[in-house]
Structure 1
Amino acid sequence: MKLSIKPFTILLSSTFVSSTVFAFQPLAHDQKWMLGDWEGKRTQLEQQGYQFNVAFQNESALNLSGGYDDSPRLFNANQWLFGTRLDLEKIVGWKDTQAQLSITKRDGQSLSNDRISDPRASQFSSAQAIYGRGQWWRLTNAWIKKGFLDNNLQFKVGRMGLSDDFNGSHCEFQNLMLCGGQLGKTVGDVWFNSPVSQWGVNAKYQFLPTLWFGTGIYEVNPENALERHGFNLDMNQRKGVLIPVELAWKPNLVFFDGLSGEYKVGAFLSTAEARNVSIDENGNFQPKAVDRKWQNNKHSVWLNAQQHIFAPEDDSKRGLFISANFTLNDKATTVVENTQQLALWYKGAFDQRPNDTVGLGLARFDVNERVRDHQNASNQLLGLTEADYTNPKYTPIQHDELNIELNYNFQWSPSLTLRPNIQYVHQPGGVKQVDDTWVAGLTMKLNF
Structure 2
Amino acid sequence: MSYRPTVSARPSLALAPLAVALLCALPHPAAAADAYDTDNLFGGWNGERAALVDKGVTLRGDYTGEAMGVVDGGLDTGARYAQQVRVGVDLDMGKLAGWNGGTLRFTLNDRRGNSTSADLVGNRFPIQEAYGGQYTRLSEFSYDQKFNDGRSYFKLGFYAMGNQFGGLSAGTSFVNAAFCAHPLSMSGNSGWYNYPTARWGGEFAEQLTRSVNVRAGWFQVNPNLSGDNVHNAFRPGVSGTTGSLFPVEVTWKPFAGTRLPGVYKFGGYYDSSRVSRKGLDTGAVTGRDGAYVLAEQKAYTPGANPEIGLTAFAEYMASDKDTAQISRWYAIGGVWQGIGHREKDRIALGYVGADINHRLIDARRATLANAGVPADSPLYGLTGAEELVELSYSFQVNPWLMLRPDVQYITNPGTFAYTQTDNALAVGLQAKITF
| Pair 1:307 & 2:312 matched | no
Cα distance between partner residues in 2 of 1:243 and 1:223: 19
* Alpha carbons 2:383, 2:412 under 8 Å: kept: no
Corresponding residue number in structure 1 for 2:432? 445
Deviation at 1:33, TM superposition (A): 1.5
* Alpha carbons 1:88, 1:98 under 8 Å: kept: yes
- Structure-to-structure mapping, 1:313-332, within 5 angstroms: 313-332=303-322
**1:168 partner letter:** G
**1:416 partner letter:** L
Deviation at 1:186, TM superposition (A): 5.0
**1:273 partner letter:** R
Cα distance between partner residues in 2 of 1:432 and 1:379: 12
* Alpha carbons 1:321, 1:346 under 8 Å: kept: yes
Corresponding residue number in structure 1 for 2:46? 39
Describe the shift of the 1:416–1:323 C-alpha distance in structure 2 as closer, same or farther (beyond 3 A): same
Describe the shift of the 1:38–1:23 C-alpha distance in structure 2 as closer, same or farther (beyond 3 A): closer
Q: What secondary structure sits across from 1:316 in the alignment?
A: coil
Corresponding residue number in structure 1 for 2:142? 143
Describe the shift of the 1:146–1:157 C-alpha distance in structure 2 as closer, same or farther (beyond 3 A): same
**2:118 partner letter:** N
Deviation at 1:124, TM superposition (A): 2.0
* Alpha carbons 1:125, 1:177 under 8 Å: kept: yes
Residue 119 of structure 2, aligned match among 100, 105, 114: 114
Corresponding residue number in structure 2 for 1:285? none
Deviation at 1:153, TM superposition (A): 1.4
* Alpha carbons 1:106, 1:136 under 8 Å: kept: yes
Cα distance between partner residues in 2 of 1:410 and 1:13: 16
Corresponding residue number in structure 1 for 2:350? 361
Corresponding residue number in structure 2 for 1:380? 369
- Structure-to-structure mapping, 1:201-350, within 5 angstroms: 201-227=202-228, 228=230, 229-234=232-237, 236-252=239-255, 258-280=259-281, 292-350=282-340
Describe the shift of the 1:293–1:302 C-alpha distance in structure 2 as closer, same or farther (beyond 3 A): same
* Alpha carbons 2:84, 2:109 under 8 Å: kept: yes
| Pair 1:412 & 2:411 matched | no
* Alpha carbons 1:419, 1:443 under 8 Å: kept: yes
Cα distance between partner residues in 1 of 2:209 and 2:330: 29
**1:241 partner letter:** S
* Alpha carbons 1:253, 1:260 under 8 Å: kept: yes
Q: What secondary structure sits across from 1:113 in the alignment?
A: helix
| Structure 1: runs of 5+ lacking an equivalent | 118-122, 281-291
For residues 315-362 of structure 1, what are the alpha-carbon distances to aligned partners after superposition, in whole Å with 9 as ceiling and x for unaligned? 122211111111111100111101101121111121x21100011011
Corresponding residue number in structure 1 for 2:94? 89
Deviation at 1:187, TM superposition (A): 2.5
Describe the shift of the 1:41–1:388 C-alpha distance in structure 2 as closer, same or farther (beyond 3 A): same
* Alpha carbons 2:337, 2:344 under 8 Å: kept: yes
Cα distance between partner residues in 1 of 2:342 and 2:191: 42
For residues 281-309 of structure 1, what are the alpha-carbon distances to aligned partners after superposition, in whole Å with 9 as ceiling and x for unaligned? xxxxxxxxxxx211101111011111122
Describe the shift of the 1:379–1:427 C-alpha distance in structure 2 as closer, same or farther (beyond 3 A): same
Describe the shift of the 1:445–1:212 C-alpha distance in structure 2 as closer, same or farther (beyond 3 A): same
Describe the shift of the 1:23–1:349 C-alpha distance in structure 2 as closer, same or farther (beyond 3 A): closer
Q: What secondary structure sits across from 2:154 in the alignment?
A: strand
* Alpha carbons 1:400, 1:429 under 8 Å: kept: no
| Pair 1:20 & 2:25 matched | no
Of residues 224-233 and 399-408 in structure 1, the stretch that sits farther from structure 2 once superposed is 224-233
* Alpha carbons 1:279, 1:293 under 8 Å: kept: no
**1:84 partner letter:** V
- Structure-to-structure mapping, 1:75-86, within 5 angstroms: 75-86=80-91
Corresponding residue number in structure 2 for 1:194? 195
Cα distance between partner residues in 2 of 1:19 and 1:413: 15
Deviation at 1:47, TM superposition (A): 3.6
TM-score for the superposition, normalised by structure 2: 0.90
Q: What secondary structure sits across from 2:304 in the alignment?
A: coil
- What RMSD, in angstroms, separates the aligned Cα atoms of the two structures? 2.3
Corresponding residue number in structure 1 for 2:106? 101
* Alpha carbons 1:124, 1:185 under 8 Å: kept: no
Identity rate, percent: 27
Q: What secondary structure sits across from 1:131 in the alignment?
A: coil
**2:139 partner letter:** T
TM-score for the superposition, normalised by structure 1: 0.87
Cα distance between partner residues in 2 of 1:209 and 1:427: 44
| Pair 1:176 & 2:182 matched | no
Deviation at 1:172, TM superposition (A): 1.2
**1:87 partner letter:** D
* Alpha carbons 1:196, 1:230 under 8 Å: kept: no
Q: What secondary structure sits across from 1:259 in the alignment?
A: coil
Describe the shift of the 1:14–1:279 C-alpha distance in structure 2 as closer, same or farther (beyond 3 A): same
